[in-house]
Chains A and B, each alone.
Chain A
Amino acid sequence: DTEVTQTPKHLVMGMTNKKSLKCEQHMGHRAMYWYKQKAKKPPELMFVYSYEKLSINESVPSRFSPECPNSSLLNLHLHALQPEDSALYLCASSQDPGQGLPLHFGNGTRLTVT
C-alpha cells in the first residue's frame, strides 16, 4: 500500500472541461511534487512545493495550476487541456526539500484528454 494517495485513479476529460487531481499524504512530509509521465518514458518534474509554497515550476503551461492547501494536500487544477496532455500524473512527497532525500510516490492518476 502506498502512503501517498491520489484520486481519481482514472480521469477522462474534454478539452473544455475543468477538473482537479488530488493528492494526500499523512507522513508529515513538508515537500510535495507533481510529475508527468508519458507512456514508455521516465517521469518529468512539473512542480515542487516546499513548506506549502511553490518553489519550482518547470515552465509548465498555465492550463495546469497547482495548489497546496495545507501540508498534507496537493491539488492540480486542469483547464483547457490538449490531447497531448494525456499521461500518468504522479504525486510524490519527501520529508523536506533537502537533497538526497527519497521521494515517496502515489500510484498516479491516468488522464485521458479527448
Chain B
Amino acid sequence: AQSVTQLGSHVSVSEGALVLLRCNYSSSVPPYLFWYVQYPNQGLQLLLKYTSAATLVKGINGFEAEFKKSETSFHLTKPSAHMSDAAEYFCAVSVVTGGGNKLTFGTGTQLKVEL
C-alpha cells in the first residue's frame, strides 16, 4: 500500500534560516506526491506536486522539493524562512483505486518561525 511518513511533528527555525521538512514514501510503483500547507482556520493549499516529469519540483512561495528514489524521500525545502511561512505542512500521496483518486496525507509538520 502507498503511504507517506513525515518525520518531526514540530520544526522550529529562525527567520532567514533554511527550512527542511521531511517526507518519506512507501510505494511499489512510481508515486504521485504532493505538499500542502494549511494556515490556521483555513483549508489546504497546494504547494507543489511530483508527477515524474522532473525530480526537482518548484512550488509556490519559494518552496521546492526533490524526489529521491534511492532514499524514498520527497523533502520540502525553502532557502530562507519568513514569518508568514508558519503553518502546518502535509505531505500526501495519490493512491488510485477502483473508485478513483484517494489522496492520503502524512501526519503533518507544524513549522514555527522565530525572530
Instruction: Give Cα A63 to B107, complex, Å.
Output: 26
The total of interchain contacts (Cβ-Cβ below 8 angstroms) comes to 74
Contact pick for B106, options A4, A33, A40, A42, CB 8 Å: A42
Which of B11-19, B45-53, B77-85 sits within the interface? B45-53
Contact with A along B72-115 (1 / 0, CB 8 A): 00000000000000000010001111011111111110000000
* Complex interface: chain A residues within 8 A of B104 (CB): 45
Where chain B touches its partner, the secondary structure class is strand
Contact A108:B51 (CB < 8 A) given known A56-B97, A103-B103 = no
Interface size class of A (residues with CB under 8 A): 20 to 34
The interface size bin for chain B is 20 to 34
Contact yes or no, A31 B105, CB < 8 A:
no
Task: Give chain A's interface residues, CB within 8 Å of chain B.
Answer: 2, 4, 6, 31, 33, 40-43, 45, 48, 50, 55-56, 90, 92, 94, 97-108, 110
| Interface residues of B, Cβ cutoff 8 Å to A | 32, 34, 36, 41-46, 49, 51, 90, 94-97, 99-108
